[in-house]
A and B are shown apart, each in its own frame.
Chain A
């Protein structure tokens, strides 16, 4: 089946620094990638949708200048948390689909645990 990887799987950074998370589709080309955030014992919340070669579409309430998303190729999307603060600590999950349409399955990465101290 389709495999999506994330790197790193966990990261600790100091407040005020930036951290980059990578999401790769390993055996297929993903036109669309999604970034989610998950708090403990809560559901996944969609942060943004990115299409290869174009700007990401952010959900309401998500700061686009804080969470920079780049989808430079059909197999790689990155999420950069800029000037991180403790409240940004969370579990970040990406998914990828061939087309991003409603009937197209999303394949999920294993997630990245971010802790900001």
Chain B
């Protein structure tokens, strides 16, 4: 079945550092790809998404490009802030699997001042 694999955390960075969180996927169809963020004590929020190959999703300085050839959707941000500290989840939704969301295990990011 479909699956999502993320790099393990926690990831600890200093403020203004460059962030990459790797995400790769396996899917039988042509999925849509998502990044969700969960701030402490809050529910998951959609951060960005891409629905087809070579699409780039972006929001709040974060971006990720749908790479079909490498089955990847890595999350990047050029300069992180303390307020970016959260857990980040990569996910896919595949019509071949009924359109349900399939999540990676989450990567905890901690940004130090």
Contact = CB atoms under 8 A, between A and B. Distances in A.
Nearest to B49: A105
B69 interface: no
A101 B95 CA distance: 10
| Size bracket, chain A contacts | 20 to 34
Given A101-B99, A102-B32, A102-B95, A43 B104 contact: yes
A103 B45 CA distance: 15
Contacts of A95: 43-44
Given A43-B89, A43-B106, A49 B43 contact: no
Contacts, number: 47
B99 A110 contact: no
A108 B32 contact: no
Contacts of B113: none
B100 A41 contact: no
A4 B106 CA distance: 21
B46 A110 contact: no
Interface residues of B, number: 22
B34 to A, nearest CB: 9
A34 B99 CA distance: 12
A96 to B, nearest CB: 10
Nearest to B94: A102
24 contacts: A4-B43, A34-B101, A41-B105, A41-B106, A43-B4, A43-B89, A43-B103, A43-B104, A43-B105, A43-B106, A44-B44, A44-B89, A46-B100, A46-B101, A46-B102, A93-B43, A101-B99, A102-B95, A106-B101, A107-B43, A108-B38, A108-B45, A110-B41, A110-B43
Given A4-B43, A43-B102, A106-B46, 7 more contacts: A41-B105, A43-B106, A44-B101, A45-B103, A93-B43, A95-B43, A103-B51
Interface of A: 4, 34, 41-46, 49, 93, 95, 101-103, 105-111
- Which 6 residue pairs across A and B have the least CB separation, nearest first? A108-B43, A102-B99, A108-B44, A43-B103, A43-B105, A44-B103
